[in-house]
Amino acid sequence: MMNEGIEIHQLSVGPLQVNCFLVACRKTRDAMVVDPGDDGSLILQLAEKEGLKISKIVNTHGHFDHIGANRQLVETTGAELMIHAADLPLLPQARHHAEAFGLSVEPSPDPDRLLAQGDTFAVGELSFKVFHVPGHSPGGICLLSEGHLFVGDVLFAGSIGRTDLPGGDFDALVEGVRGQLFNLPNETIVHPGHGPDTTIGQERKMNPFVGDGV
């Protein structure tokens, strides 16, 4: 997926089919991986095929299915690993959480940078803005650049992230989506952590959990 400055490649990774995004600056070929949940070799092969240099890895949150290839990518590329501070405790617990689902996960290295509400960072000539939207997890974040919003498990097409896991908070999630994300333009493209893309306008109008009809 491309427009003037941003290039987006999506992979479904791991047994829980997490949407992992390889997001690049078309001009510089600098790239970021969002939520490398598994299948690190596939992510690296895609980057090589597209001529991209991975310089950043961002976990939208710390659940095991979104962080499983952190170590492989960090060790292979030397990329900067980033997550919100409130989800730091989830990283060392990931193996235990995965085992509860009958799965296994490679332990994540410690992050290089902690992201917070309102932070910005660059990928090539692209600038990404950070929104902290807790509720699915305490440190859930969304990333915005050039009309594209990467939301992890905060918001889905027609749904929202589950809030019955440890640290979940339904009211906080609804408040964050309606108070922050729904202030963005209707045409903003939403890239969730599972399932198909959607738009802010579609979710504001139709989402049964957070939309205007609630």
Dump pLDDT digits (tens) for 143-200.
999 999 999 999 999 999 999 998 999 999 999 999 999 999 999 999 999 999 999 9
How is domain 6-206 classified at the architecture level of CATH? 4-Layer Sandwich (3.60)
pLDDT at 9 over 70: yes
Sheet with 120-123: strands ordered across? 120-123, 126-132, 141-145, 148-152, 189-192, 198-199
Q: Give pLDDT, residue 2.
A: 45
For residue 59, what pLDDT band results from cuts at 50, 70 and 90? very high
**Eight-state DSSP code of residue 66:** G
pLDDT at 213 over 90: no
Stretch 108-116: mean pLDDT: 98
* Residues near 65 by beta carbon (within 8 Å), at least 6 away in sequence: 14, 16, 18, 37, 38, 98, 105
Q: Give pLDDT, residue 181.
A: 98
Stretch 96-107: mean pLDDT: 93
pLDDT digits (tens, 9 = 90+) for 39-53: 999 999 999 999 999
Among residues 124, 136, 163, which one has the least CA distance to residue 31? 124
